[in-house]
Amino acid sequence: MSGPVMIRRRGDLGRAAIWLGLLAGGLVMVAPLWLAFATSLKQGAEVFSLSLWPEAPTLANYARILGDGRFPLWFLNSLVVSIATTLSVLFFDSLVGYTLCKYRFRGRGLVFVLILSTMMVPTEMLVIPWYVMARSFGWVDSYWGIMFPGMMTGFGTFLMRQFFATVPDDLLDAARIDGLSEFRIWWQVAMPLVRPAQAALAIFTFLGNWSAFLWPLIVSSDRSRYTLPVGLAFFSGENNTEWQLVMAGACLATVPTLLLFLFFQRQIIRGIALTGLKG
């Protein structure tokens, strides 16, 4: 058998092995989600079976959990917190990243290092100072109390700074010659050029706040202020024999994140790809 044929066959086998590995990894990741969805359609003792599909699927569990007045309230709380925090991160992290990238001032490097150092501190070490601050300002059991630790992030500042480094300084100088203020230069000239980074940062921030559990649990004692992850945890404790309801709530909780990814997947993938190229 000739050499080129052997090389071609080895290449085909290599690609087949890669695809099989990807398929196996995809099945491992999708299986728990599928089981959760299948469980949400089950009733009675069938909930504890590992069947891939219920014998008599029903939407009654979804009707019951949506009819419970607490679930829509928890859903709304998570939506408000996630959207508000995402908008805050996009604004402040972009502004700080732009300042650290495009302005020369004494101590700029030190400020950037200090911001990056916040990424090295575990969240568990910060919850006590956060709680003391929230109690001092009267933010316990409020949206502000849940949101304020994540309204500006070191990761977002780093990401936006790296992207703003690709914006030509000559373009900004031309805008200054045209009479634009520094704020308008940032908002109207620089920001439109880093939209892939904004899309990636937006979905990372939204997902992080949507699924956050520890801090909302600590700062909220009023059940009307629970976010969805905290509410579902207590809901499962109250209904420990009705896991089908918990799975129905968990499936509904994934809807906003799926919609967010479907609408912005091109910008997200492009942003993640370009992030690895920034020096």
Q: What is the mean pLDDT of each run of 10 residues along the chain (279 residues)?
A: 58 79 87 86 80 83 86 92 95 94 89 90 89 93 92 92 90 90 92 87 89 92 89 72 82 86 72 54
How many whole angstroms separate alpha carbon 10 and alpha carbon 2?
13
> For the chain, what's the residue count?
279
Q: Where are the alpha helices (DSSP H) in 50-194?
A: 60-67, 70-102, 108-117, 127-136, 143-147, 154-164, 169-177, 182-184
Q: Are residues 24 and 146 in the same domain?
A: no
Whether 118 and 179 map to the same domain: the answer is yes
Is the domain of 8 the same as that of 132? no
Is 11 contained in some domain? Answer: yes
* Position 72 in a domain: yes
Q: Is residue 55 part of a domain?
A: no
The pLDDT value recorded for residue 19 is 87
For 210, residues 6+ apart whose C-beta sits below 8 A from its C-beta are: 78, 82, 228, 253, 256, 257
Residue 122 located in a structural domain: yes
Query: Quick one: pLDDT at residue 45?
Result: 76
Do 43 and 172 belong to one domain?
A: no
What pLDDT is stored for residue 172 in this prediction? 92
| CATH of residue 231 | 1.10.3720.10
Q: Which residue has the tokens 């480094």?
A: 165
Please give the tally of structural domains in the chain: 2
25 & 83 share domain: no
What is the pLDDT, as a whole number, of residue 9?
65
pLDDT of res. 89: 96
Flag whether 57 is in a domain: no
DSSP state of 193: G
Specify the pLDDT at position 271: 59
110 shares its domain with 164:
yes
Q: Tell whether 205 and 86 lie within a shared domain.
A: yes
State the sign of the Cα–Cα–Cα–Cα dihedral 24, 26, 28, 33: negative
212 shares a domain with 76 = yes
DSSP output for 210-259: HS--HHHHHH--SGGG--HHHHHHHHHHHTTT-HHHHHHHHHHHTHHHHH
Both 43 and 81 in one domain: the answer is no
In a domain, 164, yes or no: yes
CB contact at 8 A, 140 and 221: yes
Domain containing residue 191: 62-275
Domain assignment of residue 172, yes or no: yes
Residue 210 and residue 84 share a domain: yes
Pair (66, 44) in one structural domain: no
Structure confidence at residue 237 (pLDDT): 64
Would you say residue 56 lies in a domain? no
Residues 21 and 76 in one domain: no
CA–CA gap between residue 243 and residue 247 (Å, rounded): 6
Q: How far apart are CA 206 and CA 270, in angstroms?
A: 18
